[in-house]
C-alpha cells in the first residue's frame, strides 16, 4: 500500500533531515539522480518505493558506520 511505504520513506528521510517541510519537499519535488531524476513520490506511484527505502537506509547506515 502506498501510504505505508510513504510513511517509511518519510520516517527514514526525517532521520537524515530533521526539517519536516524539507522532507516533504524532497519527497514530492526533488529529482533523485540515482533513479533517472524521478522523485520519491513518482517511484512510489510506480511501485518502486522500496528502492527509495533502500537508498535512504544506505545513507543512514553510512552515517552511523
Determine the pLDDT at residue 64: 85
> Which pLDDT tens digit goes with each residue over 15-51?
999 999 999 999 999 999 999 999 999 999 999 999 9
**Backbone phi and psi for residue 32, each to the nearest 5 degrees, phi listed first:** -100, 115
Residue 27 and residue 39 in contact, taking contact as beta carbons nearer than 8 Å: yes
Number of folded domains that form the chain: 1
Question: Which range of residues forms the domain containing residue 37?
Answer: 1-64
Residue 48 and residue 5 in contact, taking contact as beta carbons nearer than 8 Å: no
Amino acid at each position: 500500500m502506498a501510504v505505508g511505504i510513504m510513511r517509511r520513506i518519510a520516517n527514514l528521510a526525517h532521520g537524515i533531515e530533521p526539517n519536516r517541510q524539507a522532507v516533504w519537499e524532497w519527497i514530492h519535488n526533488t529529482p533523485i539522480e540515482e533513479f533517472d531524476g524521478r522523485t520519491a513520490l513518482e517511484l512510489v506511484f510506480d511501485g518502486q518505493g522500496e528502492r527509495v527505502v533502500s537508498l535512504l537506509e544506505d545513507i543512514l547506515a553510512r552515517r552511523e558506520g
